[in-house]
Amino acid sequence: MRVALAQLEIEGGHVKANRQRAEDAVETAADRGADVVALPEIFNVGYFAFDTYQRHAESLSGPTLSRMSDLAAEHGVGILAGSIVEDLAATDSETPAEEGLANTSVFFDRDGHRRAVYRKHHLFGYESAEADLLVPGESLGLAEFEGTTIGMTTCYDLRFPELYRDIAEAGATVVFVPSAWPYPRVEHWQVLPRARAIENQSFVVTVNGAGSFEDATLLGRSTVYDPWGTPLASTGDEPDLVVADVDTDQVNRVREEFPAWHDRRR
């Protein structure tokens, strides 16, 4: 499976320009033979543009995700639509709350069909308005894509290893992590996903944004880690698109060669 990480420049509150950059990235990734294109966290609004969340919140059928669905079908690629600010009240009855906003990721298949919805479980509270503005999700993000079970998490979730073990035990061999990870926590951004890959013996794919907000600068460094924790492809801190081939059969080979799961005690 060829994955493309679209490390987009994101401008706070500039939805039209941000969405256009995402559309261009999907087209470029498709031209480069990608099977799945992953976008960053809240790529259309900008994670740190908290004062615009309410104004730009959408339903699952809103303009951003509808456009991503159309692009998936147009280019014949799977799209992990990073995340958006979802207006739960405007969506359908399957939402975990009757009202409020959520940090929501959606996976579309090559036909543009919605295959999974994931609402960020762990909301960042440290000097961030996210925990005050949004409500957490409850369900695992799992999507079946051409014989591979894909897991979905978001940014701060990386600090909670039990979520990744639950995803691995549910059968996921590739876990995507759309993020808006800022400076100065470079070491955390590199160590945590690598640890999640090693301890679960699965691929972990992080896709971060690029660009500066009033009080934060995203550090980029989107990376694909294999089940040994080895980086297969990575970016710097500028806008970029990186493509990597993920051999999902490697997960079974690694788990057979080094069967650490069999040694667990509960």
Annotated active-site positions, please?
41, 120, 155
Residue 168's H or E segment, with its range, is helix 161-169
Instruction: Let me know: does 196 contact 165? Beta carbons within 8 Å.
Output: no
From the list 192, 169, 168, 167, the residue with the least C-alpha distance to 179 is 192
Residue 128: CA atoms inside 13 Å, Cβ hemisphere, count? 16
Report the distance separating Cα 51 and Cα 198, nearest Å: 38
Chain length of the chain: 266
The pair of three-digit structure tokens given for residue 90, joined into one six-digit string: 């405007």
Instruction: Let me know: does 193 contact 222? Beta carbons within 8 Å.
Output: no
Taking phi first (over 0 means left), then psi (-120 to 50 degrees means alpha), and beta for anything else, what does residue 147 get?
left
C-beta neighbour count of 144 within 10 angstroms: 14
CA 166-205-2 angle, 5° bins:
120
3-class secondary structure, 225? strand
Instruction: Let me know: does 165 contact 200? Beta carbons within 8 Å.
Output: yes
Instruction: Let me know: does 158 contact 134? Beta carbons within 8 Å.
Output: no
Instruction: Let me know: does 44 contact 13? Beta carbons within 8 Å.
Output: no
